[in-house]
Amino acid sequence: MRKPSPARYRTTNWSSYNASLRKRGSLLIWVDKDMTWLAPRDGWPAVFSDAAIQFCLSIKVLFKLPLRQTAGMVASLLKLAGLDWSVPDFLNRPGFTGE
C-alpha cells in the first residue's frame, strides 16, 4: 500500500506570514504589583506567599531551568518590572538541600 502524499501549502501573503512568525517570538510576562509576594509573617528568613512560589515554579518549568538559574531569571524579571522584591533562594532555606 502506498502512502498518501503530504499536503502542500503555498504562502500567498508573505508580509502577514512574516509578522505572525515574529509574534511567535514575543514574550509577555505580567506581574501584578498588588500581588502579595511575602506571606503575612514577621521574622527572618522571609517566607514567600503561595503566589510567589507558584510564579517562580512556573518560570522554572516554562524555561526548563534549574533552581539557581530560576532565581536569577525571576530576579531579573522583577527588576525589569521595577519591583524591589526579594527572590526565593533555596540556599537560605533551613533543611533544603538544593536541586
Whether residue 36 contacts residue 49, with contact meaning beta carbons closer than 8 Å, is answered with yes
- The predicted pLDDT at position 11 comes to 81
pTM higher than 0.75 for the full model? no
3-state helix, strand, coil in the chain (%, to 5): 40, 0, 55
Q: Which amino acid is at 52?
A: A
- The predicted pLDDT at position 45 comes to 65
- The predicted pLDDT at position 26 comes to 81
All residue ranges of the chain with pLDDT < 50 are 94-99
CA proximity to 93, closest of 40, 41, 46: 46
